[in-house]
């Protein structure tokens, strides 16, 4: 048993080392307070439907589940339903898999549980990744779509939120490789704004936070309810343990 535990710990250590050695940019921290903010979740749902649902489906999420974030059926029908006329339907994609493969080189993935699937041991949660990914697009004429991304180099998806953020270019500076002075490396040195967006930088970051909050909620809509039930279950078990302990002591006190 000890050997098994030791092997697991070594495997976890190697995994952490592999991620650390893999390089790439550090993930920014997702503003977790938005996860329980109904206004943020509602705005995130609007952004998801308007900018993501054109290509990405959410086949495990039904529109009527949006009641859980404070929306009525009428609000859902009037503002969020473009690909169906039934509030009980799932969030299906507007393009076909064939079109997705022709346009982007592959079928865009379903986003129902994307925030949960993108968690990376040693780097952060899936929400951290998405928050970083949607804020690090930049113009790259050498790419087929004209865009690249710091968090996902060589990404096939164009920057669908560019009208909100504007167009940016990535700036790099040349430096000597600290491990090999004969080599030169290119270090990322920030973004240069090429054209303005509809939102300021702070407003855009907030909007992305809302969208990521919705993607995180969509992966587990019952999380808050599960946590509440779990807390009450633990309290009940704690109280019952004390009662059982005292009953046991009272039953056996006269037994010699």
Does residue 213 fall inside a structural domain? yes
Give the residue, 93 or 43, on which the prediction is more confident.
Answer: 43
Residue identified by tokens 């503003």 is 31
Tell me the average pLDDT of the chain: 85
How big, in percent rounded to 5, are the helix, strand and coil portions of the chain? 50, 15, 35
Cβ atoms of residues 170 and 177 within 8 Å: no
**Residue 24 pLDDT:** 62
If asked whether residues 170 and 234 sit together in one domain, one would say: no
If asked whether residues 169 and 231 sit together in one domain, one would say: no
Overall pTM > 0.85: no
Does residue 141 fall inside a structural domain? yes
Cα-only R_g, the chain: 24
Helices (H), the chain: 2-21, 38-47, 73-79, 97-104, 114-117, 126-133, 162-165, 201-219, 223-252
pLDDT digits (tens, 9 = 90+) for 209-228: 999 999 999 998 877 777 88
pLDDT of residue 40 exceeding 60, the answer is yes
If asked whether residues 87 and 214 sit together in one domain, one would say: yes
**Residue 132 pLDDT:** 96
Share of the chain above pLDDT 90, in %: 51
pLDDT of residue 17 exceeding 80, the answer is no
If asked whether residues 135 and 246 sit together in one domain, one would say: no
Q: Which residues of 104-126 are buried (b: 16+ CB within 10 A; e: fewer)?
A: beebbebbbbbbeebeeeebbbb
If asked whether residues 235 and 209 sit together in one domain, one would say: no
Does residue 156 fall inside a structural domain? yes
pLDDT of residue 78 exceeding 70, the answer is yes
pLDDT digits (tens, 9 = 90+) for 118-136: 888 778 899 999 999 999 9
The tokens describing 145, both together, are 């779509």
If asked whether residues 86 and 104 sit together in one domain, one would say: yes
What range does the domain containing 190 cover?
2-220
If asked whether residues 114 and 193 sit together in one domain, one would say: yes
**Residue 23 pLDDT:** 46
Does residue 256 fall inside a structural domain? no
Cβ atoms of residues 30 and 125 within 8 Å: yes
Total structural domains within the chain = 2
If asked whether residues 216 and 105 sit together in one domain, one would say: yes
pLDDT of residue 139 exceeding 50, the answer is yes
The tokens describing 231, both together, are 């807390």
**Residue 92 pLDDT:** 86
């Amino acid at each position: 048993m000890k050997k098994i535990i030791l092997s697991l710990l070594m495997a976890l250590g190697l995994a952490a080392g592999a991620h650390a050695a893999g390089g790439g940019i550090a993930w920014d921290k997702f503003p977790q307070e938005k996860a329980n903010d109904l206004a943020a979740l509602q705005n995130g749902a609007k952004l998801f439907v308007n900018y993501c649902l054109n290509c990405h489906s959410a086949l495990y999420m039904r529109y009527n589940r949006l009641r859980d974030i404070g929306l009525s059926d009428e609000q859902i029908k009037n503002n969020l339903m473009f690909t169906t006329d039934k509030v009980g339907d799932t969030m299906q994609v507007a393009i076909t898999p064939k079109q997705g493969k022709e346009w982007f080189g592959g079928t865009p993935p379903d986003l129902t549980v994307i925030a949960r699937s993108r968690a990376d041991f040693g780097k952060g949660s899936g929400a951290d990744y998405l928050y970083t990914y949607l804020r690090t697009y930049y113009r790259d004429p050498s790419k087929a779509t004209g865009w690249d991304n710091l968090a996902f180099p060589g990404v096939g998806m164009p920057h669908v939120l560019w009208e909100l953020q504007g167009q940016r270019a990535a700036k790099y500076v040349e430096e000597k490789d600290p491990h090999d002075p004969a080599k030169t490396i290119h270090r990322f040195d920030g973004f240069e704004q090429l054209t303005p967006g509809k939102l300021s930088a702070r407003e855009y970051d907030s909007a992305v936070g809302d969208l990521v909050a919705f993607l995180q909620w969509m992966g587990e809509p019952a999380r808050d309810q599960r946590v509440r039930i779990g807390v009450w279950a633990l309290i009940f078990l704690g109280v019952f343990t004390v009662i059982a302990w005292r009953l046991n002591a009272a039953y056996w006190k006269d037994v010699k």
